[in-house]
Amino acid sequence: MDVAVIGAGLAGLSCARALVAAGLHVEVFDKGRGPGGRVATRRSDFGAFDHGAAALHGLPADLIATYQECLSSVPGGVVAHPRMSSLPRAMEAGVTVHHGTRLTALHRRADKWSLAMENARGTVSADKVALCIPAPQALELLPGGVFAEISKVQMSPIWTLMLAYDGPLDMRSDLLETEIFTAIHQSSRPGRDPVPERWVVHGAQGWSRANVDADPASVEAELLAAFGQVAMGAEITHRALHRWLYGRVRTPAGKACFWTDERAIGAAGDWCLGPNGGHAVESGQALAREILK
């Protein structure tokens, strides 16, 4: 292939779509079961939970116009419906994406990249590589000394608790923020099923960093206790915990993307520019422009 894109989040899909539009043979590889990265939705017998990004801010107007059928406006940004993962699923149309495929190693041989995959695909080759994954994961795969400044990027973990109830809670707002958590009412979001009553409780960045390696059971208990002080009127029927190890950008790299013609490899992601969905799209598109040069 001309370009192997690693990561099917907003940055990777934006990069791949621009390259495909230019006529290149591009394939995307992602370790997840579906596209989107942190623009994610967890399905369950108790309904769907947007357990990643709650909303997308700063998306370019042309992207919003292209996918307007699955987007609804919220203060400062947009929400995809009927679930957040609807946007990346729409974006991967027309792009060859391999899900459940983890890249484990990269080797440069002559003028080709050899990519070792952790599943039955084995090894594939490409002229160029675009790493559109979290900064720490990109550093693990990059050859020594390439884009060493990426090590300055800082990202925060986020613990996320998904809760379903047997009836509505007595809450004054669909969004609640405290020093420990941010809680988002799922049942009232645009295009969502109103029942059962569902909430997503994200641990605050500072709290999540302090508890990043804590026992999941203790993390769940502490989030439940904190949210339980304000969530009353119904009993929990379902709960699930997820840890986003690289949940939110704290300190970005300060440039749109990374690229070297000599090695024919680059990196992109929201972590290049900031924490918003628009930063991821901008970075992926910038990397595509560098590749097309």
Q: Does the fold of domain 154-249 match that of domain 3-35+92-153+252-292?
A: no
What H or E segment, with its residue span, contains residue 203? strand 197-203
Residues found in the chain: 293
- Has residue 293 got a pLDDT over 90? yes
Looking at residue 45, what is its pLDDT? Answer: 96
- Output the CA–CA distances (angstroms, integers) from residue 1 to 24, 99, 132, 193, in the order listed: 8, 17, 17, 42
Residue type, 97: V
CATH code for the structural domain at 154-249: 3.90.660.10
Domain ranges of the chain: 3-35+92-153+252-292, 154-249
Task: Kindly state the percentage of the chain with pLDDT values over 70.
Answer: 100
Q: What is the pLDDT of residue 110?
A: 85
Q: Rounded CA gap, 234 and 220, in Å?
A: 18
Q: With bands split at pLDDT 50, 70 and 90, how would you rate the model's confidence at 180?
A: very high
Asked if the bond preceding 82 is cis, omega within 30° of 0, the reply is: yes
Distance, CA of 242 to chain centre: 13
| All residues at 6 or more sequence positions from 195 whose CB lies less than 8 Å from its CB, including other chains | 47, 187
**114: its two tokens:** 């050899």
Fold of 3-35+92-153+252-292: FAD/NAD(P)-binding domain (3.50.50)
Position 96 pLDDT exceeds 70: yes
pTM of the predicted protein model: 0.96
pLDDT at 120: 63
pLDDT score at 40 = 97
pLDDT at position 207 over 70: yes
